[in-house]
A and B are shown apart, each in its own frame.
Chain A
């Protein structure tokens, strides 16, 4: 089983990304997640890119991502959420039956979250809701991209932030 670099989001939210840092991407991989994917502000939170070089190196080739970026969302200096966007390897999102796609999504989500994921449908988008380290995690797929929105447990408007994040187009 391949490891999932998505765990970055949880690990980084736990402490490492308390200050903004230079953006990097997975070493040697073709950059496919746009650096300007996020605006400078989302749902009233300031958006800054985060350095995930170390985690990317640790994942090495054992990842479903060819590229991954992480952004921190802050209110003032207080970290409220992170959004990780990973570009999936070609074999991960190769054309399959709808059942295969669902099975793959669930497989990925089960690796990321610690709670039994719940499926929510907002518009035409399937969003998996789970939690990691007691933080709510919202996970969704857009073809070749995987989005992981992680929030502080006490963040008051998770669904409002989710709505805006769902509008992002890679």
Chain B
């Protein structure tokens, strides 16, 4: 899913260009701070909102986590609620806002496939549970956490009064209520290097390394907000890819086949916000009217 992919990209970004900026560490998070923030946030009961804007379309997952196996959320697109979801241990329940295929709307149904498995490959259909799980596991332990730790490690404290501050790199609105902000910047976009041997197989990841900005907010020892902006110049990148393939084709005596040009990913903005209420959310299974196999699940 997109969220996980974004973290993967963040590693590339933040581990390459900022490696040269390690001279000053007083405006970065210490290893202990990073560890403490993560430990206090990753598995904590919480409320969350994940918002994504892509090509003018906006999607949102808003929910609550009681613990790692009990959570609930609402999934919306374009401001309209699509469905609600509740996961309690091995069971998953869904309530559609509008009927999909043979599944009725307005009543809780149990997903015949159950809750998303721990290791099983998930389906990617709109009702598969992947959207909610990705939002719930945004700060996931395991491999994703390592990616996250790398991104946080290279972030620098946001300070518009600093001599290092560059206005054009300031991509996110202020959120003073969300605590202290740390920013991580992408590396340079170098099409000559990127497309030297054609289109790289990990194109999206490589492009994120060059265009993804990220911010992390911390408050009361916990992560409260993460924002990312994939600020790609689609036209320019598309042209660079076309030129690279054209050169490559001519070198072999052929002609560019436009169908070999992969689509250029569009810009997007993602925002995660987290709250940690005094009274942890309680998630209980709803009364389901039927057990159904959900489309795309």
Contact = CB atoms under 8 A, between A and B. Distances in A.
Interface of A: 115-123, 129, 131, 136, 156-160, 162-163
Contacts of A157: 89-90
A154 to B, nearest CB: 11
A116 B140 CA distance: 13
B90 A121 contact: no
B100 interface: no
B90 A118 contact: no
Nearest to A159: B89
A163 B90 CA distance: 11
Contacts of A119: 43, 141-142
A159 B89 CA distance: 5
Nearest to A155: B90
A155 to B, nearest CB: 10
A122 B68 contact: yes
* A interface, over-half SS: mixed
Interface in B113-150: 114-115, 118-119, 140-143
A97 B119 CA distance: 31
A160 B89 contact: yes
Contacts of B119: 115, 131, 136
B37 interface: no
Interface in B190-238: none
B295 to A, nearest CB: 22
Interface in B74-133: 89-90, 114-115, 118-119
Contacts of B142: 116-119
Given A115-B119, A129-B118, A136-B119, A159 B69 contact: yes
22 contacts: A116-B143, A117-B142, A118-B140, A118-B141, A119-B43, A119-B141, A119-B142, A120-B141, A121-B43, A122-B67, A123-B67, A136-B118, A156-B90, A156-B114, A158-B90, A158-B118, A159-B69, A159-B89, A159-B115, A160-B89, A160-B90, A162-B89
Given A116-B142, A159-B115, A121 B89 contact: no
Given A119-B141, A121-B68, A159-B115, 15 more contacts: A115-B119, A116-B142, A119-B43, A120-B68, A121-B67, A122-B67, A123-B67, A136-B118, A136-B119, A157-B89, A157-B90, A158-B118, A159-B90, A160-B90, A163-B89
A150 to B, nearest CB: 14
B143 to A, nearest CB: 6
B168 to A, nearest CB: 39
A87 to B, nearest CB: 27
Contacts of A123: 67
A20 B281 CA distance: 42
A89 to B, nearest CB: 27
A160 B115 CA distance: 12
Contact of A122 (B69, B140, B143): B69
A8 to B, nearest CB: 22
A118 B42 CA distance: 12
